C-alpha cells in the first residue's frame, strides 16, 4: 500500500493545502474576528496537512478511487462535506462562533480538501 502512493502528488497536495490554509486564515478579509497567523504556526500547519494528505491518499487508494482528477475532486468534496463539515460545525457551535464565520471556515476546508483530492487524482 505504501508503495502505491504517488509521493510527488502527495507532497504537492500537502503544500497546496497548507498554502490555501495560510492564505485564507492569514487574510483578515475572510475572517475579520480571527487572530493573525504567525510564522511559527507554519510548521504545525504543514504537519497537520501532511497527516491529512497522507490519510486522504491512503483512503483514496483503499477505495480504488484515484483514476482521474474528477474522481479526486469528488472524493475531496464528499469527504469534506460528509466528515469535516459536521465536525467543524459542532466544534464551532460549542465555541460560540457566529454562523457566518462557521460557514466561511467550513467552506475553506471543503475547498482545500477538494483541491488536494484533485491533485492526488490528477497525478494518479
Domain hosting 73: range is: 2-122
Task: Tell me the average pLDDT across 47-59.
Answer: 88
Q: Into how many domains does the chain fold?
A: 1
Which pTM was predicted?
Answer: 0.83
Residues 24-48 as b or e (16 or more Cβ within 10 Å = b): bbbeeeebeeeeeeeeeeeeebbee
Q: pLDDT per residue over 68-119, tens digit each?
A: 888 888 888 888 888 888 888 888 778 777 888 888 888 888 899 899 988 9
Q: How many CA atoms lie within 13 A of 21 on its CB side?
A: 24
| 12 pLDDT more than 90 | yes
Nearest 5°: the CA angle 12, 14, 15 is 65
Amino acid at each position: 500500500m505504501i508503495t502505491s502512493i504517488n509521493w510527488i502528488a502527495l507532497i504537492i497536495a500537502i503544500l497546496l493545502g497548507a498554502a490555501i490554509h495560510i492564505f485564507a486564515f492569514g487574510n483578515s478579509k475572510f475572517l475579520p474576528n480571527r487572530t493573525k497567523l504567525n510564522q511559527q504556526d507554519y510548521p504545525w500547519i504543514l504537519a497537520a496537512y501532511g497527516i491529512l494528505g497522507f490519510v486522504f491518499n491512503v483512503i483514496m487508494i483503499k477505495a480504488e478511487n484515484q483514476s482521474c482528477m474528477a474522481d479526486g475532486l469528488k472524493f475531496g468534496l464528499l469527504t469534506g462535506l460528509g466528515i469535516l463539515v459536521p465536525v467543524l460545525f459542532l466544534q464551532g457551535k460549542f465555541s460560540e462562533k457566529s454562523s457566518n464565520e462557521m460557514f466561511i471556515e467550513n467552506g475553506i476546508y471543503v475547498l482545500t480538501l477538494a483541491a488536494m483530492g484533485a491533485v492526488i487524482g490528477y497525478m494518479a
